[in-house]
Amino acid sequence: MRTTHRAAAILLLAFALAGCAQTAGSSSTAGAGHAGGSAGLGAIDASTPPPAAPGGGSGPDAPPAPSYPSDAGEYSRAAVSAWLAGDNGRLDQLRDPANMLFHSVGLGDYDRHYTFQWCQGAAGSSYCMFYNAVGDELRLHLSNPRLGGPHAIVDGEFHPLTFPPDMQAYAQECLDGWKAGNTARVGFLTTADALAHLNAIATGHRSDDWTFQDAQGAAGSSYLTWRNGSGDRIVFRFHNPGVVPGEGPQHRIVDVLWNP
């Protein structure tokens, strides 16, 4: 009887040990399967470099690659926006290192509300124009082969609004502003009546080739005349110096006459 009981106890102990072994084996297998699944999905370990960030950086916090528009208008607007925002890093990506236009112009003394006007292309280049709220003109020269990449803005010109003391130069600045559609500039050079009369001239004449003809004086005024190829004339009238006490440099063109 005692022998039977001892055999039964040994048998139960064997079953218990077998169950423990099976449980341990199941746990080990599950762990291996989890690790194997992760490896199949691209697990990162000490031997695997981290994935490259967009733009060739390393790590998830690397900055994205800079974008470079392939359109000249968008490219020039990006540069002007960076310039006005003081983002020299972005501006340096877009301008040729030899092009110091933006640095030479500065921002302290000029109006900062620029508006894109147009882009024109010629011989592998694009020329894009911006006017600010007082009629200053910023023209950017872009290299077309560089569009879509860095440093496409290779040159440019800045022409601020001026008030020349010479009447012919003053009227020429107004005529050039009218031809270019620079309404802000023209508005600072003319009175309201003169502006209305100038704007009443058909816009098609803005593309005419205008040549200075002569200057004549009468009754305290000076009349300066420009003629186009068809014989049409635009006449700018000024007050002679001293006629209007305290007359300032702005709005010196007091009338515009159109003689077709």
Q: Hey, where are the domains in the chain?
A: 72-159, 167-259
Q: Is the per-residue pLDDT at 3 higher than 80? A: no
Q: What pTM was computed for the model? A: 0.73
pLDDT band at 108 (very low <50, low <70, confident <90, very high): low
Q: How far apart are CA 131 and CA 99, in angstroms?
A: 20
Q: Which residues contact 195 (CB under 8 A, 6 or more apart)?
A: 186, 187, 256
Strand ranges, E, within the chain: 115-122, 125-131, 137-143, 153-159, 211-218, 221-227, 233-239, 253-259
Quick: pLDDT tens for 195-247: 999 999 999 999 999 999 999 998 999 999 999 999 999 999 999 999 999 99
Quick: pLDDT tens for 210-220: 999 999 998 99
Q: Is the per-residue pLDDT at 253 higher than 70? A: yes
Strand ranges, E, within 68-210: 115-122, 125-131, 137-143, 153-159
The arithmetic mean of pLDDT across residues 175-185, rounded, is 98
Strand ranges, E, within 134-251: 137-143, 153-159, 211-218, 221-227, 233-239
The arithmetic mean of pLDDT across residues 45-68, rounded, is 54
Is CATH 1.10.3470 correct for 167-259? no
Q: Which residues contact 1 (CB under 8 A, 6 or more apart)?
A: none
Establish whether domains 72-159 and 167-259 are of one fold: yes
Pairing of strands 153-159, 211-218: unpaired
pLDDT for 63:
74
Architecture of the domain defined by 72-159? Roll (3.10)
